[in-house]
């Protein structure tokens, strides 16, 4: 099974009851279930209870506990409201009888209105940039084990960062990053599936931009990182198998948390979606030093 085919399988949720669904989990090399997986599956579970004409326009989620990628996840959907123009859903993701994730989303019947948007950054096209979906064998063998386990897997997504990424000798830089991305193979023509997959992909690289000024990141042995929440707004029609630019920035990091924002554009410069996330960024070495000082 190809990585994209396996990704699509994760969004074929099993209906256990009218508002109860179960999804498969995957190990992508991180210590816990990938947050994007839970986000995308929760959206798919909610969509399974929504009229076909309505489309998601916003979602807000909190990650409560680490998910175990060795176990499936059960999604319990609450049909909060069904109106003529808008409908709302709440979803709780459950493992071992405990909630690991909560999710709220809103859906709108398409209608015309005022339009404006921000301008896409002026960056090189993806064809001119190196593919960073997987490191070369030469680079991989020199990476720390934690980072190598995450990066060497064959992925269902192509990633082409505009700003160079040096995993071996990271250098401090501004809290800004632009990354072209798309699924690694064409997808079925299903608008809901494309939106769920964009939710999945939106969790890639988002929190890590907050560590760029500090030449660190999820690959660092003295760093613990985890998503706390995730918000997303869908502005226009999404095609997750076509090149999109993820324009990321981090306005603030403080209190062992980093705040990050993202704008997702298509090649024509249309703003498709916006994201925001706050996550835990805990420096273990500093924590240990403070603990030793307190004991002394």
Phi, psi torsion values for 47, nearest 5 degrees:
-60, -30
Question: CA angle at residue 206 from 102 to 269, to 5 degrees?
Answer: 110
> Residue 192 and residue 105: Cα distance in Å, rounded?
14
Angle at 42 between CA 232 and CA 205, to 5 degrees: 45
The one catalytic residue among 203, 241, 250, 263: 203
Distances (CA, A) of 294 to 66, 254, 255, 256, 286: 29, 21, 19, 19, 12
Question: How large is the angle between the packed helices 35-47 and 3-10, nearest 10 degrees?
Answer: 50
The beta-strand segments (E) located in 64-207 are: 73-82, 86-95, 98-108, 157-161, 176-183
Among the listed residues 106, 220, 227, 274, the single catalytic one is 227
Q: The tokens of 75 are what?
A: 């999604």
Q: Token digits for 69?
A: 């990628």
User: To the nearest 5 percent, what fractions of the chain are helix, strand and coil?
Assistant: 20, 35, 40
In this structure, what token pair is assigned to residue 35?
Answer: 């947050």
Annotated catalytic residue: which of 10, 25, 220, 277? 277
Residue 32 among the catalytic residues: no
Q: Is 203 a catalytic residue?
A: yes
CA separation for the pair 119, 111 (Å, rounded): 23
| Residue 37 annotated in active site | no
| Residues classed as catalytic | 203, 227, 277
């Amino acid at each position: 099974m190809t990585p994209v085919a396996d990704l699509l399988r994760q969004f074929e949720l099993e209906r256990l009851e009218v508002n109860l669904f179960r999804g498969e989990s995957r190990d992508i090399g991180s210590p816990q279930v990938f947050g994007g997986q839970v986000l995308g599956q929760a959206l798919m579970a909610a969509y399974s209870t929504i009229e076909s004409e309505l489309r998601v326009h916003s979602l807000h989620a909190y990650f409560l506990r680490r998910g175990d990628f060795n176990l499936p996840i059960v999604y319990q959907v609450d049909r909060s409201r069904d109106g003529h123009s808008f409908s709302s859903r709440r979803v709780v993701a459950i493992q071992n009888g405990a909630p690991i994730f909560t999710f709220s989303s809103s859906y709108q019947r398409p209608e015309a209105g005022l339009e404006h948007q921000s301008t896409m950054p002026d960056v090189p096209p993806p064809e001119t940039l190196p593919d960073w979906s997987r490191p070369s064998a030469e680079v991989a063998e020199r990476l720390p084990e934690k980072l190598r386990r995450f990066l060497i897997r064959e992925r269902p997504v192509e990633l082409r960062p505009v700003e160079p990424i040096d995993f071996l000798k990271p250098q401090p830089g501004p809290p800004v990053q632009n990354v072209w991305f798309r699924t690694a193979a064409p997808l079925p023509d299903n608008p809901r599936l494309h939106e769920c997959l964009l939710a999945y992909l939106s969790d890639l690289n988002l929190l890590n931009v907050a560590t760029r000024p500090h030449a660190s990141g999820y690959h660092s042995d003295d760093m613990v990182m985890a998503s706390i929440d995730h918000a997303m707004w869908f502005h226009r029609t999404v095609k997750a198998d076509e090149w999109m630019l993820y324009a990321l920035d981090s306005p603030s990091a403080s209190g062992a948390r980093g705040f990050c924002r993202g704008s997702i554009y298509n090649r024509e410069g249309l703003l498709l979606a916006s994201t925001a996330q706050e996550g835990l960024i805990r420096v273990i070495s500093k924590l240990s030093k403070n603990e030793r000082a307190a004991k002394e």
